[in-house]
Amino acid sequence: MTKILFVCHGNICRSPMAEFVMKHMVEEAGLGEDFYIASAATSSEELGNPVYPGTRQRLAREGISVAGKFAVRIRAADYEKYDYLIGMDSRNVANMLRTFGGDPDGKVCRLLDYTDSPRDIADPWYTGDFDTTYDDVCEGCVALLGVISTHNDVH
């Protein structure tokens, strides 16, 4: 089983969007049982809060529900628990490395590092642009799934 943790600052916009987009993609591909997918925050300011309305509404347009998701924070123990630790931007990655005490196994990177156009995913909390964030998340999840499928021989 491949275990993926998506991480952003508050775990209310980008990382839950990536979590539920990826869950949807693997279910659609008939691979749901081959994956454990979750998301978390690098900060504590949104802990226990539900997914931000803009993210909920954008995913609902695709028929994707985030029901039951509440913000949680990454822990050092997550490094051993997950195969892929995916930040949404460079700041998330820096904060993840601080929490994990480094990245000896090379598990930590940005989601869009798996694409042909590596870059940060802008935070829609600040931009208000949930459509662009959704498009970036989808691009990254497709690329990540492709890498995992090739690496793990997932069909």
Residues recognised as catalytic = 8, 14, 123
For residue 104, give the DSSP letter: T
Q: Report CA torsion sign: 38, 7, 83, 136.
A: positive
- Sheet of 35-41: strand order equals 35-41, 2-8, 84-87, 108-110
Q: Confirm if 84 and 39 have CB atoms less than 8 A apart.
A: no
